Amino acid sequence: MLAFLALIIILVIALLYWLLMSSYSQLFGYFPYKIKTNKKVIALTFDDGPNDPYTSELLDYLKQKKLRATFFLVGKNIKKYPSTVQRIVNEGHLIANHSYSHSFFNYFKSLSFKKEIESNQELIFKQTGLRPALYRPPWLFRTPFILKTLKSNFLTPVSGIFCNSFEVLRISPEKITKSALSHSKPGSIIIFHDGIEGKGGDRNNTIQATKLLIDQLLAKNYKFVTVAELLEIKPYQSLPPKS
């Protein structure tokens, strides 16, 4: 009986994880992790930054290869590295909202996550003059309440496929690359982390893995695009600042 009860609990937890935090669930609405296409196009995305020197090293490499990516920025890190944020914009990459503090605890303080979303939206606007059109929730956690907040702020939620489930734990670049390559299909949105939540941290292995992946995908004739280009939507909102 105890074993059966334990199995039921495990199944319930697994189901809740799938519905609320998986890359793929569309239960609560549109949450794109790829598009259907036969073209060899892919969107590389980087979460939790900016986080120097790692974000700048990544930008150096993307500039060398003449590639563009999408950066989902955390407000606390925007304040730490404002010049890096501006460099991301100046070099043609797409910036998007990834909450102000990246604190899971704040999901329990407000079901709507309103302050986290809107505070970062305003911070990005003040820093760059751009109002993002895309939002990725920390840990991909979403509920109908959060999606309602996004809708009221004219934000499109974006999912993606993790390059490797253990990438944030700094596993080897080779392991990250092998996994990321297996997920890199035409139309995929791939998630890397150039930071860790709102705290920074060593992301050298991720940057090295990104370089390895890009080289292999270029050899396969892939084209790299931003998420907005992949989804064929506007990269930024054309709205006046809120009063």
Name the residues annotated as catalytic.
47, 193
As a whole number of angstroms, the distance between CA 115 and CA 118 comes to: 5
Residue 206 sits at the vertex; the CA angle it makes with 200 and 211, to the nearest 5 degrees, is: 135
Are 115 and 100 in contact, with CB atoms under 8 Å apart? Answer: yes
**Other C-beta atoms within 10 Å of 197: how many?**
21
DSSP code, position 100: S
Q: What residue ranges in the chain does DSSP mark as E strands?
A: 41-49, 70-73, 94-97, 134-135, 156-157, 161-162, 189-193, 223-224
Paired tokens of 234? 């506007």
Map tokens 């990438």 to a residue: 167
H/E element, 160: none
> Is the separation of the CB atoms in 69 and 215 below 8 Å?
no
Question: For the purposes of burial, counting CB atoms within 10 Å of the CB of 201, is it exposed (0-12), middle (13-18) or buried (19 or more)?
Answer: middle
